[in-house]
Amino acid sequence: VRRGGPDVSRRLLVVGSGMAATRLVEQVVARRAGWEITVLGDEPHPPYNRILLSAVLEGTHDPVALTLRTPGWYAEHRVDLRLGVRVVELDRDRREAVLDDGTTLGYDALVLATGSIPTLPPIRGLVRVDGRLHPKVHAFRSLDDCTRLREAVPQARSAVVVGGGLLGLQVARALSVRGVATEVVEGGDHLLRSQVGPEAGAIIARDLQRLGTTVYTGARAVRLTDDGLRLDNGYTLETDLVVLTAGGRPSTALARRAGLEVRRGVVVDDQLRTSDPLIHAIGDCAQHGLQVTGFVPPAWEQAGLLARLLAGEEVAYTGSRNVARLRATDLDVAVLGDPERTEGDVVAVSNPVVGSHRKLVVRGGVIVAASLVGDLSRIGLITQHYDRRTVLSVSEPGALLMGDPPSRPAQLPDSAEVCACAGVSAGLVRACSSLEQVRDTTRATTGCGGCAPAVRQLLAQRPSLGTTLEGIAP
């Protein structure tokens, strides 16, 4: 990438207007590095918070509340936001992107932030002869998917959610809360199996069952017929709706057509450059080393780093730490590292009665992975030890999980991370004088929203704030 001083205007094209793209644009704008930015998004809506789609399905959030940045914000910052347009080709020799309406746009640097696309599980009958999905079948990735499903809910008595991962749980909860008799079909032996172990999976299943949801694990849906959805164990589930939530894969078709190196995702180096140095990739579509991510914290970390690179800073991306905060009403899950596959001593506390499971994997006194389900009151301190690789005494891991929460946010040191999505420390929150300032300058609370209680408490230390704190969602 040709980098110059702020007086040189260069054209930056961002393909995709999702969560990574939005964060990138915010950060490039903040650095005033002389880029003339155009954002091209194929969805018709202003950039929105995808994490909260299940809250819209559930009815607790209005779709408008998901907007990350309004068209007015883009106009104010002289960013050309074009929605409902799809980039169909990249002409790398001419340095042009070709849009689906036939127009071409030149670039000096281009960023692929095309996200991921849902995978279609091998179930016969999902797709009709005309190539369209069976009318009972729904995907759940975009606001339009969510609207279509929301419109189907009042006529539906029953639903089957295919896939017991993060997305499946969010959708199943929302449908159950809306009064639809919901069944979840998961091929693995427990729910959320990519993130947590069987004990935590069982607690999550109990929690869903309390809402009236039925959970089938170790069963695969094989065929959709007029009678219902047939499973490989012989059962047929009668259903009005089938929601596909069985995973996604990086959206790489555009990069592949342009001849860029693609493995699982679009391959990037330590400068987040693809095999063409003028083209970068970030977020769910990118692959760095062996890592393909799929969560907001790494997408936002990459976006922040790329903004610094585009401003001429000498920084290198070395991969993202594996941190996930999963969001669904009354279901809090946080995962640090890979607790199911990392070797070490396991210290765990399970309380199925209240629906919580906390697990640390400890090696040489250091927390090398963790998962928390149900009760995240300890996540701040655990993340801090995990990040700093603090060597704990033999009694500390157990003490961290037992008894009263060891640290209220108000007592966290300034360096402790409060918002995993935007990587915001307690000190940065404390430096803000209002909630609006926290949201606007740090973007804490605008991702999964899991940090909202901690931010609320940190701000509450400032006596003048009082009543404005109620507005923090969710």
Question: Tokens in use for 147?
Answer: 């609207």
- Cα gap 51→49, rounded to integer Å: 5
Q: Quote the least distance from Cβ 73 to ligand FAD, whole Å.
A: 17
Interior angle at CA 427, CA 426 and CA 429, nearest 5? 65
**What's the CA gap between 28 and 472, in Å, rounded?**
26
CB of 131 to ligand FAD, least distance (A): 20
- Least distance from C-beta 333 to ligand FAD, angstroms? 8
Retrieve residue 382's tokens.
């655990």
Query: Which residue has 């279901």 as its token pair?
Result: 331
Residue (29 or 53) nearer to ligand FAD, CB? 53
Q: 139 or 347: whose CB is closer to ligand FAD?
A: 139
Q: Which is nearer to ligand FAD, 14 or 412 (CB)?
A: 14
Please, what is the minimum distance in Å from the beta carbon of residue 468 to ligand FAD?
A: 26
Between 34 and 168, CB nearer to ligand FAD: 168
285/348 with CB nearer ligand FAD: 285
Cross-strand partners of 273: 280
- Crossing angle between the packed helical segments 296-310 and 19-31, to the nearest 10 degrees: 30
**Which residue lies nearer to ligand FAD by CB, 424 or 448?**
448
d(CA 183, CA 209): 10
CB of 206 to ligand FAD, least distance (A): 20
Question: By C-beta, is 387 or 434 nearer to ligand FAD?
Answer: 387
Instruction: Tell me if the bond preceding 122 is cis, omega within 30° of 0.
Output: no
Measured from the CB atom, is 50 or 288 closer to ligand FAD? Answer: 50
Q: What percent of the residues of the chain are helix, what percent strand, and what percent coil, each to the nearest 5?
A: 30, 25, 45
**Shortest reach from residue 281's CB to ligand FAD, in Å:** 9
The answer to whether the CB of 48 falls within 8 A of the CB of 4 is: no
Q: Which residue matches tokens 């639903």?
A: 159
Neighbouring residues of 66: CB distance < 8 A, sequence distance ≥ 6: 48, 49, 52, 53, 56, 143
Residue nearest to ligand FAD (CB): 18
In the complex, least distance from residue 225 CB atom to ligand FAD, rounded to whole angstroms:
28
Are residues 299 and 320 in contact, defined by beta-carbon separation less than 8 angstroms?
no
User: In the block, which residue shows the tokens 């650095």?
Assistant: 31
Residues that bind ligand FAD (CB under 6 A): 15-21, 40-43, 50-51, 53-54, 86-87, 113-116, 140-141, 166-167, 170, 251, 254, 283-285, 294-296, 299, 324-327, 448
Residue 210 Cβ vs ligand FAD, minimum distance, rounded to whole Å: 21
Read off the tokens for 67.
């907007």
- Smallest separation (angstroms) from ligand FAD to the CB of 54: 6
Alpha helices (H) along 279-417 = 296-310, 379-388, 396-401
Q: Name which of 175 and 347 has its Cβ closer to ligand FAD.
A: 175
